[in-house]
Structure 1
Amino acid sequence: MNINSKYHGEIEVNEEKILFFEKGIPGFQEEKKFIILPLSDDQVFSVLQSVESHYLAFVITNPFVFNKEYDFELDTSVIEELDIASEQDVQVYSILTVQDPFEKTTANLQAPIILNVKNKKGKQVILNNSQYTTKQPIFQLVKKG
């Protein structure tokens, strides 16, 4: 299937890789279908691209690349909603707020994107853990780690 994307123009995507967010993403509840596209050659940065709205794309990264200490527990309701059977079925991403210069880019560690890679269900989960912020500078985390 072909889609229009914010960063890659018109591209062909494999329909089997489409992720389904039953309740959308906070602020974009009507957007239910997304796909992850590479943004950097090293695959550290990706794009969570809406399949239906070409202008809606979030730059994302695996937060554990920048913060080895990042840790949280998912509520039982989230595990049930996403039908998670095993920790190995889960991928975690953080939405980035890209800054200029890029070294000032921040990650939303308080509301990670949780994906069940087996059934392609996803959800942005808002953590009640106050130690994480919505604008954590990612490159400061690397220097500390």
Structure 2
Amino acid sequence: MEFNTKLGKISIDTNRIINFEYGLPGFENLNKFTLLNPEETKPIMWLASLEDENVALPVLPPNMVRIDYDIYIPEDIIEYLNIEDKEDLVLLSILTIPQNGDITINLAAPILISNKTKKGAQVLIEKSDYNIKHNLNTEIKRSKDLSNSNKDVK
């Protein structure tokens, strides 16, 4: 199937369509997305709407930025997405990329996608130290420092 997206015209198989039954906050009327991974923006991927060509959200796996990222996923979300194994789950965080200023990453409301069912949902993680705006460079430096300190311990 062919779609116009913010990143241009794409052709994808129907098995790459991710259904967000309830949309995403701010985009509740959009339900069909796909994940794009263009060479020119790697490692940043794009969650692109297949219903509104002007909507594509830059995303990264949160553990790529924060190696100790760990969240509790509510049981009702696991059931809704039909997650039986951790390998079925794709975990992404939305980036904010301003024209001037620092890139931030939302660690408080990750996007969860089932590889098996192709269902997706964005979940607000309650009772955590994660915020919706973490400075990307600060988090990467923190993870490198943490990784280096763990190497020293071994």
TM interval, short-chain normalised: over 0.9
Write the deviation string for residues 89-137 of structure 1: whole angstroms up to 9, x where unpaired: 11100000003457x1001111000011111110000110340011111
The aligned residue for residue 4 of structure 1 is 4
The aligned residue for residue 129 of structure 1 is 127
Instruction: List runs of 5+ in structure 2 lacking aligned partners.
Output: 144-154
Kept in 2, the 8 Å contact 1:109–1:133? The answer is yes
> Which runs of structure 2 are paired with 1:92-107 in the superposition (5 Å)?
92-100=91-99, 104-107=102-105
Q: How many residues align?
A: 143
Write the deviation string for residues 23-72 of structure 1: whole angstroms up to 9, x where unpaired: 11112111111000114447421110011110011011111111001110
Report the residue type matching 2:139 in the other structure.
L
SS in 2 for 1:74: coil
The aligned residue for residue 73 of structure 1 is 72
After superposing on structure 2, the runs of 4+ consecutive aligned residues of structure 1 that deviate more than 6 Å are none
**Which has the larger Rg?**
2
Report the residue type matching 1:6 in the other structure.
K
CA distance in 2, matches of 1:138, 1:129: 22
User: Which residue, 108, 112, 115 being the options, matches 2:113?
Assistant: 115
Report the residue type matching 2:86 in the other structure.
E
Question: How does the TM-score come out when normalised to structure 2?
Answer: 0.87
What percent identity do the matched residue pairs reach?
33
The CA RMSD measured in Å over matched residues stands at 1.5
